[in-house]
Amino acid sequence: MRKHQREAIAWALRLKPGVATARDVAAFKDWCMQNPAHAKAFAKTRHLWDALGPAGQNLFDPNALENLAASQRSRANQIGRRAFLTGTVAASAAVAAYAAIHPPLDLWPSIAELNADYRTATGQQRRIALANDIAIDMNTQTSIGLRPFTEDADRIELIAGEGTVKTRSHGIEVTAGSGHARGVNAVFNVRRDSDKVSVTCLEGEVSVACQTSLVTLASQHQVSYSDTGLAPISQTDSAAVTSWREGFLVFHDARLSEVIAEINRYRRGRIVIVSEALGQRPVNGRFYLARLDEVVDKFRNTFGARVTSLPGGIVILS
């Protein structure tokens, strides 16, 4: 998500009726005057949310996707055939479809995630056992689909999220994005963030293929790939990569924006940083998943950040 879009979303949240102050309005005007792209990004954000109708007004409801679908059905039932044939309903349906595929702020799962064979909700983790002595630990917001197996390997697709795969006597191939990872008698972690995928070998060896390139990872090594191909192999701290399995997150010289993005995967709602300078501040530390609500106060005290809390677990740091 681009910087202007992130800031526009933050302003849309901050300027909700009954929440915004006169000082907020004045600051918003100053922001719009700083760059023509600011006002344009805000207009697009408001247009999308306004087009969502009732679902847009209740964007922070955990059941927003279901509310959106119900709203669309109700609206279709209330209008006549002539109105139904106009472009208004077609436009509303298009917006609803876009929101289902690309949820604003990632506040609800996409259609692909909802159709997965296995899925974890925000903050949830689970273990699944497949045939042939294969086990997968699924992290938060993770969706996995079963795919047709081959003679020598089971196959799954990591649609979104992260999982640690353990196989002893049989091969498994994990497709994610534009590539796949394959291991036998190995333990490895696969994480998918949109089009970017990271594979970390924890035990044994894992082969990773993307487009026409193929590499083999040894234990404690990691590789990432995207639509542009494979990145160089690097050595990594596997304990930090899989610390979520122990109930905490570890950060070494990470930017605050990166830390917030990671924390957002585990808590309901959304923490949004509107200050670019604040987002660049370095963070080192360990954060327990069971106490993530404490991190906002920690960042306020450490960095002097201004905190604005909104309904639905939305928190703005500036």
Answer yes or no: do 291 and 220 share one domain: no
Answer yes or no: do 83 and 127 share one domain: no
Instruction: Indicate if the pLDDT at residue 227 is higher than 60.
Output: yes
Mean per-residue pLDDT, 195-199: 96
Whole-angstrom distance, CA of residue 76 vs CA of residue 80: 8
pLDDT reported for residue 48:
60
Q: What is the CATH number of the domain that holds 253?
A: 3.55.50.30
Answer yes or no: do 58 and 147 share one domain: no
Answer yes or no: do 144 and 40 share one domain: no
User: 174 or 306, which is more confident?
Assistant: 174
| 74-111 tens-digit pLDDT | 544 444 444 434 443 444 444 444 444 445 445 445 55
Contacts of 83 (CB under 8 A, 6+ apart): 89
Answer yes or no: do 27 and 82 share one domain: yes
Answer yes or no: do 33 and 126 share one domain: no
Helix (H) or strand (E) holding 293: none
What's the pLDDT band for 243 if we cut at 50, 70, 90? very high
Ranges 26-40, 85-99, 253-267, most confident: 253-267
Boundary-marking domain end, from 203, 238, 273: 238
The range of the structural domain enclosing residue 312 comes to 247-317
User: For residue 204, with 0-12 CB atoms within 10 Å meaning exposed, 13-18 middle and 19 or more buried, which class applies?
Assistant: middle
Answer yes or no: do 79 and 182 share one domain: no
What mean pLDDT, rounded, does the chain reach? 80
Answer yes or no: do 264 and 313 share one domain: yes
Instruction: Indicate if the pLDDT at residue 311 is higher than 80.
Output: no
Answer yes or no: do 252 and 290 share one domain: yes
pLDDT reported for residue 8:
78
What's the pLDDT band for 60 if we cut at 50, 70, 90? very low
Boundary-marking domain end, from 206, 238, 270: 238
| 128-186 tens-digit pLDDT | 999 888 999 999 999 999 998 888 889 999 999 999 999 988 899 999 999 999 999 99
Answer yes or no: do 152 and 52 share one domain: no
* β 171-176/153-167 pair status: parallel
Instruction: Indicate if the pLDDT at residue 293 is higher than 50.
Output: yes
Helix (H) or strand (E) holding 269: none
Strand partners, 307: 317
pLDDT reported for residue 102:
47
Least confident of 46-50, 93-97, 205-209: 93-97
Boundary-marking domain end, from 238, 265, 285: 238
Ranges 50-64, 80-94, 244-258, most confident: 244-258
Answer yes or no: do 138 and 177 share one domain: yes
Domain count, the chain: 3
Answer yes or no: do 299 and 199 share one domain: no
Instruction: Indicate if the pLDDT at residue 127 is higher than 80.
Output: yes
Give the predicted TM-score (pTM) of the model.
0.68
Whole-angstrom distance, CA of residue 122 vs CA of residue 41: 28
Q: What is the CATH number of the domain that holds 135?
A: 2.60.120.1440
